[in-house]
Structure 1
């Protein structure tokens, strides 16, 4: 005799085979109209004897988390069945019923092996582990099939897309409804059932006003899927990844004017992915913007609101040029790259930019996106690069006066010297920029933000990912940047990686840093736990903005600081998923009360 255990739990618990999700049990999930809310169903099959003993030891009531196969008599140890049964006998099919069942999406949370999960000597106490192993991260559709594992916990990820106010029919006026999950064996016998109440607050989740970019790497998609760059197959795949990013809160897309000069070993190069056609004939430059026009149309159709042009100079100092492929007097060749100086007129790059940037400006205006476009000089320059950064910026400034030039810069002297008027500091270096009063400040994190501050490594608990939303609100930031939506290379692009088997590489990136989306079969992206939790963070921010519009910023800050004896900062926040969930519940309750009051007054 066996027990099929199914326990609804919140979204911030990472379920490991030997974990104990019972203490994370939930009964209700609450969200705003138009919000995607998520939770999990932890499941395993176990001996009835073991299950009974566990309930006694933990004081569980045992009334409905699973259903026993067979009669209700407690078996003896000799009757234990799990270990004597072929594991494929525990395959079930899950079906969902209830008013919101058509809005629910169920996926399996898969374990992903990671050899490299943390940087030795640079971790804090808020990691799940610093050791290689398998971490729950990949979300995969299973067409409803669920394989219970004897004595090992797994989980299903459930998203519910709550209907927006304008989409609501009369049935949805009922604010709370149950989702029922039934698990049946192949022979049709029901073996487990779970239920979660879904509470929809009748107030619309507002649009995300934060500018949010996760860098899309078009070359990695062509490389993984083995399709020619900018072939129809490549365009189709890129569009799917763009749409997946926008669905989860990305508003701005990294646009490869030329092959991005990012994460490339000095002297090496990445697969060419430039959108701009370049020709020089008898010393005269001309540019083909057809691919850029197609890119902009595709992104706009997918819901992209802002565009960031790829970096005009190399990473970490702006000393050299991006790779530029051009047709020169009828012959295609690499015109610029590591061998060319960024600013020496003898190497020709300043003259090239003098011809190109005015033409690009005209094209961006023609396409209607000039006001929603930002430019980059060089990624992550440090103090020693200040002079080279200034020299490179001086080359482009005459042509980009009407655009924001933004860069990931964590040394405040770049701002104080006016080298970078729109700096984007890392979240562990943000305080000097806050004190300097930078207007429209953004932040970012990457592989270097390993202690204290938020990040999304697989080895970190999910609350450390989700706390970002509240912190973005507290600091009243204008944007968030991350470099890795889908980077499937080792550091410096020395070699391609398989993200399904090598989520972190000893060459430089801890698991979870380089990508949020997996390259699924047939060019369809597969999501991660981390991108779903990041969406929850952005939804927390949106909920805070809604409450601010109803009750003022001070009311929101009071709720976020309730019970704390210190300010909420990027380096100091509660390391507690339950605290975070309770703060969002308080925000929801305040919105609900104010919305109900407004409805009563209107009536």
Structure 2
């Protein structure tokens, strides 16, 4: 028996008892609290692809969800307080115990400006920004809402692989006011027979900052077990959201000088020009990551970013202080640094072999070199590595097509706005974005529409990217300074407009661990979409994906995503070839 009509009828009775029934079933539920003379609170449901700003107007009270087995689906339960005074609220999803139902309060953070160089059509929050933007997902449900204000809860459901396919009726129950008056909205969930398999052969990495953790939480460094626990929680969060490659901070990969750099490798210089290496902390970090589930590892660059002009800033400890082994302005190809590499690289190779890491590691030469002299510098550095470490294949974020055409790097990583040249040249590559591009291009800033972020996995799949890299997982410092910022009030690394709001980090620091963001959740859902396409055996050239042209020209709306997913998931548990054929019809 289909219980949805019964639930809707119950909802209509609640509306009538509250003061009035809606004109149509899709209107928000408008309720009266206590002895108030008229309805003052709106309740409605929303997908995971729309932000609910403080002045968002009510939507529909009905929502239908479709989810694969062994997958995740999210939605929002929303309310608007039209009273002239505050309202205490609480809420919970019901009927989802076997789906690990989780309800979180969507918090608000300030966005003083929109992303520079972007038209209104490519922005979310026009008319709301400057202002407060929904982003952090607090692991709590009780809150106080101001007058004439909208807020939402984020509900996550995890569908087991052995869940029974078919429709289920869930509820979201609101508790409003000091007397916790109850109101219910029905949620229809259809579980597809389709079982999504884990994503394969598409590495995703986000650069993680160990120094951000000890500076924000005021912990010690590697000697502090609380730092290790916080680190574990952050890396587990990263892995659970689809990042399957972990960056190992063997070196501190920043230009600025830090008093407490996050450098796992202990380097000593007992005599001038002679170096010794202690790998204990590196091994502990690798072991921790393997316990979490990581199987692929990314290692720091050998030369500092932006031109291959200087060596990495490598620290040693002297008189209980961290000092650099050489001045920052040292030439990239100085005898001092080449001598260091001659001693370091063989020991690095031995460590990788000893820990069975050589075949599952990604290496870097230097980040974001440009054109002209930078190309020549990169060539020279690459030749040094070929001579001293022929086993080391490198990948780097570099957008100039010359690097790819000349084969200077084994895995080029162009910015999404430069990737089309690599696609047209038939050069295999990863992609990245970092602070830019803005405008029509794929990104995930604080004012990037959530549907646009959700298209990430679809674009990676259709445009045949070999992997994805991003710099900002938890960069909670002012950019290029050893100065912590409050991530809940400053989301640009204190460098807007150069750094758009939301770019430096995907998670917020909670009291005892990471707090997810809307952007992070939606990006993870996009990686699930990639896995769905892969599981279904859909060819990237299939007509299903023909609307996707480039990383700047693609569908950017909820309807397109939902329609394509429905076509795939309703094809059910057929063999991949049959599922792909059914989805394309």
* TM-score between the two structures when normalised by the length of structure 2: 0.86
* Distance in 1, Cα, partners of 2:489 & 2:305: 28
Q: Is the 8 A contact 1:259 1:271 kept in 2?
A: no
Partner of residue 201, structure 1: 192
Q: How many corresponding residue pairs?
A: 534
- Following superposition of structure 1 onto structure 2, how do residues 92-241 of structure 1 map, counting pairs within 5 Å? 92-100=89-97, 103-119=100-116, 121-123=117-119, 125-129=121-125, 131-142=129-140, 144-163=141-160, 165=161, 168=162, 172-173=163-164, 175-185=166-176, 189-209=180-200, 210-230=202-222, 231-241=224-234
Per-residue deviation, 1:269: 4.4
* Distance in 2, Cα, partners of 1:185 & 1:531: 29
Q: Which of 20, 27, 31 is matched with 2:63 structurally?
A: 27
Partner of residue 414, structure 1: 403
Give SS of 1:430's match. helix
* Distance in 1, Cα, partners of 2:385 & 2:316: 20
Partner of residue 339, structure 2: 351
Q: Which of 554, 573, 579 is matched with 2:560 structurally?
A: 579
* Distance in 1, Cα, partners of 2:317 & 2:576: 61
- Following superposition of structure 1 onto structure 2, how do residues 259-278 of structure 1 map, counting pairs within 5 Å? 259-261=252-254, 264-265=255-256, 268-269=257-258, 271-278=260-267
Q: Comparing 13-22 with 217-226, which one deviates more in the overlay?
A: 13-22
Partner of residue 15, structure 1: 52
Q: Which of 452, 455, 475 is matched with 2:463 structurally?
A: 475
Q: Is the 8 A contact 1:270 1:493 kept in 2?
A: no
1:432-454 CA deviation, whole Å, 9 max, x = no partner? 11122123x21011212102111
Q: Return the structure number with greater helix share.
A: 1
* Distance in 2, Cα, partners of 1:329 & 1:352: 22
Partner of residue 534, structure 2: 545
1:454-506 CA deviation, whole Å, 9 max, x = no partner? 11111121111111111111112210011100111223236332110111233
1:338-377 CA deviation, whole Å, 9 max, x = no partner? 13222111xx111111111111111111111211111111
Give SS of 1:182's match. strand
Q: Which of 26, 32, 36 is matched with 2:72 structurally?
A: 36
Per-residue deviation, 1:161: 1.1
Partner of residue 239, structure 2: 246
Q: Is the 8 A contact 2:106 2:153 kept in 1?
A: yes
Q: Is the 8 A contact 1:219 1:270 kept in 2?
A: no
Q: Is the 8 A contact 1:559 1:586 kept in 2?
A: no
* Distance in 2, Cα, partners of 1:419 & 1:597: 41
* 1:296 and 2:286 matched: yes
* Distance in 2, Cα, partners of 1:178 & 1:448: 42
Per-residue deviation, 1:595: 8.5
Q: Is the 8 A contact 1:117 1:457 kept in 2?
A: no
Q: Comparing 492-501 with 422-431, which one deviates more in the overlay?
A: 492-501
* Distance in 2, Cα, partners of 1:387 & 1:256: 27
Q: 1:355 to 1:591 in 2, by over 3 A?
A: farther
Partner of residue 285, structure 1: 275
- Following superposition of structure 1 onto structure 2, how do residues 526-545 of structure 1 map, counting pairs within 5 Å? 526-545=515-534
1:400-436 CA deviation, whole Å, 9 max, x = no partner? 3333300001000011122223110000000111122
**Structure 2 unpaired stretches of 5+:** 1-35, 580-585
Q: Is the 8 A contact 1:92 1:184 kept in 2?
A: yes
Q: Comparing 485-494 with 510-519, which one deviates more in the overlay?
A: 485-494
Per-residue deviation, 1:594: 5.6
Q: Is the 8 A contact 2:88 2:178 kept in 1?
A: no
Partner of residue 31, structure 2: none
Partner of residue 601, structure 1: none
Question: What RMSD over aligned residues (CA atoms) do the two structures have, in Å?
Answer: 2.5
Give SS of 2:431's match. strand
* Distance in 1, Cα, partners of 2:253 & 2:171: 48
* Distance in 2, Cα, partners of 1:515 & 1:319: 28
1:302-343 CA deviation, whole Å, 9 max, x = no partner? 111211101111110111122222358999742135132221
Moved over 6 A (4+): 328-332, 595-598
Partner of residue 24, structure 2: none
Asked which structure has the greater RCO (Cα within 8 Å, sep 6+), the reply is 1
1:138-183 CA deviation, whole Å, 9 max, x = no partner? 11011x32444433211110100111x2xx3xxx425332221222
* Distance in 2, Cα, partners of 1:280 & 1:376: 24
* Distance in 1, Cα, partners of 2:478 & 2:113: 12
Q: Is the 8 A contact 1:182 1:190 kept in 2?
A: no
* Distance in 1, Cα, partners of 2:59 & 2:131: 23
